[in-house]
Amino acid sequence: MPKIVLVGSGRIACHLGKRLKAKGLPVSQVLSRTASHARALAETLQADWSDDWSEVLPDADWLLLAIRDDVIDDVAALLAPHVPDTLATHTSGGTPGSVLSPFFRRYGVFYPLQTFSMERSPVWSKIPFCVDATLEADRLFLIKIAKTISNLVYRVTDEQRAQLHMAAVFANNFANHCFSIAEKILAEKDLPFEMLHPLMEETLAKALHNSPGKMQTGPAVRGDADTIDRHLKLLEQHPEWQDLYKKISDSIRVAFSNLK
Ligand SMILES: NC(=O)c1ccc[n+]([C@@H]2O[C@H](COP(=O)([O-])OP(=O)(O)OC[C@H]3O[C@@H](n4cnc5c(N)ncnc54)[C@H](OP(=O)(O)O)[C@@H]3O)[C@@H](O)[C@H]2O)c1
């Protein structure tokens, strides 16, 4: 049974800690900068806790850093002198694993590709896990643990993960921003956003079952300049959305002409 130290007590730490425990891989210690957060999570996980990095369990097998991206190196620097030979991984999609290399000989990444919030329970079996480590034995260890958590486990290098994370911004953050604009546009005319739900569901279903590039519809694909002009006129009060509409339409036009 590996001795797991969970570093951090935010969304990922809470969800991952609970899942590990449920799968018979209990966290031994929660380390986090805010004592009350560390204690609360440790109580849930029935683990030890500390807000003092120097109290990291000296015989820890795995440090799972689930902390803000921009402090991973600072916290690693504080932990490493106490457990220099322990495997350390972070959970970030946008941060190279090599950020840990100045501090740990054995390092890697344990990145769940999903958006998490406290209010929603993750469907772990369907969450792709992207794992990697410098040493093969550590990589196999991480893959084994990831497979107990999820059915979708991939070995993904730093270079691949950087690209994957950026693609996820298009698929998730940008798509959601467009949903948000659509909601506001409807609200201006007292129309409920729910009216768009079936269309959104069908768009997603089609994109999941086919190559989305082949499923593109709308005025930009049809080359319907009159409709595009009317829409741009309707957006005159919202120059930012108008600009976005133009740029996305241009991008669709280029993609479609490349397909022909
Ligand atoms: N949320 C997601 O959807 C998601 C998905 C995949 C991967 N990730 C990755 O998982 C990691 C954690 O994300 P999260 O969503 O769990 O973040 P979060 O809920 O905001 O929690 C952040 C954690 O970082 C700690 N922290 C912040 N500043 C710190 C500092 N200066 N020194 C030490 N600790 C500090 C916080 O401690 P306090 O409690 O003291 O504030 C908290 O425990 C990140 O690398 C993120 O990229 C997140």
Range 4-156 has CATH code 3.40.50.720: yes
* Helix (H), strand (E), coil (C) string for 198-257: HHHHHHHHHHHHCCHHHHCCCHHHHCCHHHHHHHHHHCCCCHHHHHHHHHHHHHHHHHHH
Ligand 1 centroid to Cα of residue 116, in Å, is 11
Backbone angles phi, psi at 27, to 5 degrees: -75, 135
Ligand 1 centroid to Cα of residue 34, in Å, is 12
Residues 6+ apart with CB under 8 A from 233: none
Residues 137 and 145: their CA atoms lie apart, in Å, by 12
Which alpha helices (H) appear in the chain, and where do they start and end?
11-22, 35-45, 72-79, 136-149, 158-168, 175-188, 197-209, 212-215, 219-222, 225-234, 239-259
| pTM exceeds 0.85 for this model | yes
Ligand 1 centroid to Cα of residue 250, in Å, is 37
Domain ranges for the chain: 4-156, 161-259
Tell me the one-letter amino acid at 205. Answer: A
Ligand 1 centroid to Cα of residue 42, in Å, is 16
**pLDDT by 10s per residue, the chain, length 260:** 999 999 999 999 999 999 999 999 999 999 999 999 999 999 999 999 999 999 999 999 999 999 999 999 999 999 999 999 999 999 999 999 999 999 999 999 999 999 999 999 999 999 999 999 999 999 999 999 999 999 999 999 999 999 999 999 999 999 999 999 999 999 999 999 999 999 999 999 999 999 999 999 999 999 999 999 999 999 999 999 999 999 999 999 999 887 66
Does ligand 1 have an atom closer than 6 angstroms to the CB of 76? no
- In the numeric block, which tokens belong to residue 177? 């921003």
Task: Report the CATH fold assignment for 161-259.
Answer: N-(1-d-carboxylethyl)-l-norvaline Dehydrogenase; domain 2 (1.10.1040)
Does ligand 1 have an atom closer than 6 angstroms to the CB of 227? no
What ligand 1 atom has the least distance to the C-alpha of 115? 3
Q: Under a CB-based contact definition with an 8 Å cutoff, are residues 35 and 51 in contact?
A: yes
Substitution candidate for ligand 1 out of 6, 67, 100 with most atoms within 8 A of CB: 67
Q: Under a CB-based contact definition with an 8 Å cutoff, are residues 38 and 14 in contact?
A: no
